[in-house]
Amino acid sequence: GMDLAKSYEETGPAAPLFFILSPGADPHEDTEMLGKPLVCFWCKDHSTFTVGTGRFHNISLGQGQEMVAEEALEKAARRGHWVLFQVSNIYLVAKWLGTLEKLLEQYSEESHPDFHVFISAEPAPTPEEHIIPQGILENSNKITSEPPTRMLANLRAARYSFDQDTLELCIGEGEFKGILFPLCYFHTCVAGRPKFGPRGWNGRYRFSARDLAVCITVHCNY
């Protein structure tokens, strides 16, 4: 969305982007969409930052993942990749957080200009349970990753998932613009229906921004 794109522009090797999560938020999906050109989902293009191109490393931090995380961080800093550290249970890596703080400080000064670090974690329930090093928080640009709950907010989030420069790359630009808003509106409707329980859908499917992006890509190219 616009907030993520704006926050990304303000980050660099010296400033990680820190997602403060609410339940149900998906920073991996949002971050990979940010690094994926709309018209090139399947391309092995060096300008894309996705898991598929090998330039986006998604690490779920947990016990035994410390070496994996350090290797990904070193590789990303050297080659100009992106790294997302998802902290689902921070207490499993509590002893390693000091190492992460030192590595981030080191790579902020001697790394590739395309290198970016993203970190996601839920807020601590109480101040006493807050164990993320102060240095990481102070040096990060923080963003609240919270799924919109109202129709208008969802519609805006859907529409602004795609910037103008990307949309202008589409074949048949004039015809495409005419279908962009209806697609975003339809996505907003189906994504919001689960709140009505069985009256909305018999089964619960989480319509995500990635579903919308795939639809947009198909229309954009054909």
Is residue 31 a contact partner of residue 57, using CB atoms and an 8 Å limit? no
Mean pLDDT value across the chain: 76
Predicted pLDDT at 60: 86
> CA-CA distance, 203 to 201, in Å (whole number)?
5
pLDDT digits (tens, 9 = 90+) for 41-60: 434 444 567 666 778 898 88
Comparing C-alpha atoms, which of 36, 34, 1 is closest to residue 157? 1
Mean pLDDT of the 177-189 span: 84
Top CATH class, 2-145: alpha beta
Beta bridge partners of 204: none
> CA-CA distance, 11 to 141, in Å (whole number)?
7
pLDDT digits (tens, 9 = 90+) for 83-142: 999 887 777 888 899 999 999 999 988 889 889 999 988 877 777 777 888 899 888 888
The conformation of residue 88, written as its DSSP 8-state character, comes to S
Mean pLDDT of the 166-171 span: 64
Q: How far out from the chain centre does Cα 3 lie?
A: 11
Predicted pLDDT at 39: 39
Q: Where, residue-wise, is CATH 3.40.50.300 in the chain?
A: 2-145
